[in-house]
Amino acid sequence: MHIPDGFLDPWVAGLFWLGAGVAIGVAGRRARDELGDERTPLLGVVAAGIFAAQMLNWPIPGGTSAHFVGGAFAGILLGPSLGILAMTAVVTIQALVFGDGGIVALGGNLFAMAVVDVLVGYALFRAFRRVHETGAAFAAGWGAITVSALAVGVGVGLSSAFAYELRVTVPIMVGGHALLGTIEGAITAAVYGYVANARPDLVLGRIDDDSVPPEVGL
Amino acid sequence: MNVLVSDSWVRRALLVLLVLVVLAPVFGWASGAVGYAEPLENAAHETGAADAATPSTPGPLPDYSVPGLGAPFGTLVSAAVGTGLTLAVALGAGRLLER
C-alpha cells in the first residue's frame, strides 16, 4: 500500500498533501481536549503496536503477502482525532527511518492510511456497532482498507507513470485489497474483541457522544 | 512516567509490543519464502510504472534492515527501534498537545 516516490504526478502528490495536512491539523486541534494521563499513553501504545504489527507480513500461498495496516483499528480504539495522530506517527516514521513509502509521496500515504483508513473505519464501526459489535469491527477493518486502496488506485491512475490507466489501477488496487482486507477485518475484530472485553473504558470509539469528552479525574 | 509503568494495562500492552517485535523476523522469513508482492506493485507492473519508483531517501534503516547485519537480526533491530521510536514520538506529540 505504501506509495514510493516517482509514482505520483506532482499535482496529485500536492492534493494528497493538502488533504492529509488539513485532516491532521483538525485532528491535532481536536485532540487537545481528548488527551490526558490515561489517553496519552494509550495513543503511544496503540501507535507503537500498529507499527510493530505492520512489520508482520502474513505469507499467503500463491506469492503474495499482506500486512495489517491498522487505521480502522486506531479509529475504533482511539476515536477519529487520536486515531489520525497515531497513524500519522506510524506512516511518517516508516517513510523517514525505513524508506517505506516516498517523501514526496508521504502526503498520499498519510491521506490513505492515516486519514481515509481511520475515518472510514471509524464511520463503519459507528454505523454497525449496534447491529453487532465484533461484526462492525470486521466491517470497519475490511471496508476502510478497501476505500484506502481506492484512494491510492485513483491517485496513481491519474499519474503519468501509470500511463493514466485508471481502468487498470483501480480494479487491481480495490480488488486486491478487498481480498486481503478480510485479514485486516479479522485482525481488527479479534483485537477489538479482546480490548473491549478486558478494558471497555479504553475503547474511545464506543463513546456515545460524537466527540470524546475530556479526560476527568486526578 | 511513574503512572506509565504502574498501570497494569500499560504493562500488559508493553509486553504485547515486545512479543510483536520478537515475531517480526519470523514473519519476515516466512513472507520471504513465499515471495512478496502487493496490489500496488501488481498495478505498477501492468501499466509499466514499476521502473518509475525512485527512492529519494532510503532512510537510516533501509527496508527494515541494518546495513551490514544479516536479515533476522536486522529485522529484529528495525522492529525494536521502530516500535520504540513510534512509542516515543506518539507519546511526545500527545504530551505536547495536552492542555
Mean pLDDT of B35-57: 86
pLDDT higher than threshold 60 for residue A217 = no
pLDDT higher than threshold 60 for residue B1 = no
Confidence at residue A47, expressed as pLDDT on a 0 to 100 scale: 98
A176/B79 Cβ within 8 A: no
With an 8 Å Cβ cutoff, is B3 touching chain A? yes
Write out chain A residues lying below 8 Å of B47, CB-based: 161-163, 165, 168-169
pLDDT single digits (tens) A13-43? 999 999 999 999 999 999 999 999 889 999 9
Predicted complex ipTM: 0.92
Q: What is the pTM of this model?
A: 0.93
Query: DSSP letter at A174?
Result: H
* CA–CA distance, A34 with A202 (Å, rounded to integer): 12
Write out chain B residues lying below 8 Å of A118, CB-based: none
Q: Percent of chain A scored above 90 by pLDDT? A: 83
Nearest to A25 by CA among A114, A125, A105: A114
Q: Which of B34, B37, B60 sits opposite A97 (nearest CB)?
A: B60
* CA–CA distance, A153 with B39 (Å, rounded to integer): 10
CA dihedral A175, A178, A179, A182 (to 10 degrees): 180
* CA–CA distance, A154 with A116 (Å, rounded to integer): 13
* CA–CA distance, A14 with B62 (Å, rounded to integer): 25
With an 8 Å Cβ cutoff, is A32 touching chain B? yes
pLDDT single digits (tens) A54-87? 999 877 766 666 789 999 999 999 999 999 999 9
A43/B20 Cβ within 8 A: no
Best of B21, B40, B46, B85 to disrupt the A interface (most A CBs within 10 Å) is B40
With an 8 Å Cβ cutoff, is B22 touching chain A? no
Write out chain A residues lying below 8 Å of B66, CB-based: none
Integer angstrom CA distances of residue A94 from A31, A89, A126, A155, B17: 23, 9, 29, 20, 17
Q: Among the listed ranges A23-27, A36-40, A212-216, B93-97, which one has the minimum average pLDDT value?
A: A212-216
> For the stretch A32-51, what's the b/e string if a residue is b when 16 or more beta carbons lie within 10 angstroms of its beta carbon?
ebbbbebbbbbbbbbbbbbb
Confidence at residue B64, expressed as pLDDT on a 0 to 100 scale: 92
Confidence at residue A62, expressed as pLDDT on a 0 to 100 scale: 65
Confidence at residue B10, expressed as pLDDT on a 0 to 100 scale: 86
Mean pLDDT of A9-13: 98
pLDDT single digits (tens) A97-112? 999 999 999 999 999 9
pLDDT single digits (tens) A150-208? 999 999 999 999 999 999 999 999 999 999 999 999 999 999 999 999 888 888 887 76
Residue A12 in contact with residue A177, Cβ under 8 Å?
A: no
